[in-house]
Structure 1
């Protein structure tokens, strides 16, 4: 019976992966096929001279978080889905939120069932499943951080270009148009969206507020607030924008200096965090039965949980020490 248990678990793992993978693929195909069919139907109606066939309800924007109806209804009932949708937009990811939810389920079930083939402790299996289940959202967060960092690096030069355009006699919107034509993404697409909102009749301050809401960049708030104050009280906007550009550059220099000075502490943190696991792995390879007492005896289990808790606390403390906000 003990020999057949791994085979049963392996079969269950395979069936779960196949089912969830098929569900993800069907969600993607259904979402893309639905948009393609709708576009083809509208084009066919216009070609035959039947008009667009729009009803009153079609004027409203229809937004789906998933290609599956039941998953879309489930996600729309939770507030965190709205925040995740905003993060996906900031990361410039076109895939709907439901895809990442299904991928998280696939990775979580894979981690739990896969670890059950080697580990009998349910807490360890649950921890592995949760860790793998968070990987899709961790990738989204990393992509969002990289895109926002790219925007922040482009911002000083973009503001300097707007300031030079204002000193040359151009309007504020013309300066933003120069940024759109001269710079690459992500600042190009964000400034282009803001410029389109202004051209469609939205106020400058409202469009800039929307820009600040779309982009997670603290330095951008200096620019937006300065423009709003200048619109209300007047002043030399070109000089203000140039000063903000200089301030952002100085903050970058200070961040780089702090990163250099804290490099030794960050390296020490990595060594202290990975050393226990590395030593344990080597000992496990040399003497596989050496750690059995920690996972079998009740006192050993308590000691293991205590050590994991203390290590987690130490990691959080070290992370707080080496991360210095500017």
Structure 2
């Protein structure tokens, strides 16, 4: 008991330092964010009749990946930051990418130092650091998947509404405007952005290409390509859109059937993944020190690594079997 108390105090101190670090980073980003001050200064100049001859490029909004200058420069030099920033936009997360990079670093360092208080194996500590460090980006991926899933579920009814509007004599943009007024997010926000681009003079095909670039939805490509082909070769756009809506509905039915048939495989994957850890935890709780030989003896370490490797291979095989592309 006396040996465990210093570890608990050390872990509490480490967590306190982490919270302090995050608070300091957020405070610095808040203080260094001069976008509002710059906007107020320019508005004041225009109100007083000054600065009217400014170059438009001087007041162009610059997209920042982080509120910290050095971190923004670092992220701008790497291609993955652009892809990750696109994922943030698809997840409708307003926080900059730098926040999640810093959180990932903090979680990773905390996981490594915290696990090192209880486990002497550096590989185990590194594994804990990798798992905790990936949590912020895992949350972003889950937000994106949920939002794109909602968009995909709304798309058939939205296309059906556009098709009915075209049959009633409305224009294509009017049909999209009905979707904006009748539907909820996320399809409302994305279609509204597309309508704004068209109203500002951007071509319909270019605006639809931008929509397909913003939204990670394979079904949307059918709609965009069909509209582009109809603009070039002609045809009954209302019938085309209705057929695409029916096609997407049938794909949803097939996806649901596949989900039902693959449910047993997914449950088996969860059981096989969690069962060894559950049994190990129960054994360690009932008989403390019984499993220490696996982490202290060289042969035990080799057996542990082999078991984890085989588990990983098995999970990858099961994942490949139950993931069926429609």
For the superposition of Structure 1 and Structure 2, which TM-score range results when normalised by the shorter chain? over 0.9
Give the CA deviation at 1:3: 8.9
Matched, 1:49 2:49: yes
Q: Quick one: distance in 2 between partners of 1:250 and 1:28?
A: 48
Provide the residue aligned with 2:27 in structure 1: 26
Change (3 A) 1:71 1:19: farther
Distance 1:27 1:312, change over 3 A: farther
**Residues in 2 aligned to 1:231 and 1:56: alpha-carbon distance in whole angstroms:** 34
Per the alignment, do residues 226 and 42 of structure 1 end up closer, same or farther by CA in structure 2, a change over 3 Å counting? same
Q: Which runs of 4+ in 1 moved over 6 A?
A: 2-5
Equivalent residue for 1:242? 242
1:98 — aligned with what? 98
How far the C-alpha of 1:163 sits from its partner, in A, is: 0.3
Partner of 1:198: 198
C-alpha deviations, 1:89-118, integer Å up to 9, x for none? 000011100011011111111111110110
Q: Take 2:86 and 2:8, find their aligned partners in 1: how far apart are those partners?
A: 43
Q: TM-score when scaled to structure 2?
A: 0.94
- Mapped to 1, the partners of 2:237 and 2:131 lie a distance apart of 49
Residue of structure 1 equivalent to 2:254: 254
Question: Could you tell me whether the CA contact under 8 Å between 1:176 and 1:195 is conserved in 2?
Answer: yes
Provide the residue aligned with 2:219 in structure 1: 219
Distance 1:64 1:234 in 2: 42
In 2, the alpha carbon distance for the partners of 1:52 and 1:23 equals 38
5 Å matches for 1:105-184? 105-184=105-184
- Confirm or deny: 8 A CA contact 2:294 2:304 kept in the other structure: yes
More moved, 227-236 vs 6-15: 6-15
Instruction: Please give the TM-score of this superposition, normalised by the length of structure 1.
Output: 0.94
Within 1, Cα distance between the matches of 2:304 and 2:56?
A: 63
CA contact (8 A) 1:295 1:301 kept: yes
For 1:27 and 1:53, locate their aligned partners in 2 and report how far apart those are by CA, in whole Å.
33
Q: Within 5 A, what are the aligned runs for 1:270-289?
A: 270-289=270-289
Could you list the per-position Cα deviations for residues 259-312 of structure 1 after superposition, in whole angstroms to 9, with x for gaps in the alignment? Answer: 112212211221111111100000000111111111111011011001000001
1:248 Cα deviation after fit: 0.4
SS in 2 for 1:324: coil
Question: Is 1:233 matched up with 2:253?
Answer: no
- What's 1:81 paired with? 81
Judge which range, 239-248 or 11-20, deviates more. Answer: 11-20
Distance 1:189 1:21 in 2: 32
Which piece of structure 1 moves more, 120-129 or 191-200?
191-200
Deviation at 1:35, TM superposition (A): 2.2
CA distance in 2 between partners of 1:307 and 1:284 (Å): 18
Distance 1:110 1:162 in 2: 51
The farther-off stretch of 20-29 and 245-254 is 20-29
CA-CA distance at 1:22 after TM superposition: 3.4
Structure-to-structure mapping, 1:50-69, within 5 angstroms: 50-51=50-51, 54-69=54-69
In the TM superposition, what is the alpha-carbon distance from 1:236 to its structure 2 partner?
Answer: 0.6
Structure 1: state its 5+ residue gaps. Answer: none
Matched, 1:268 2:268: yes
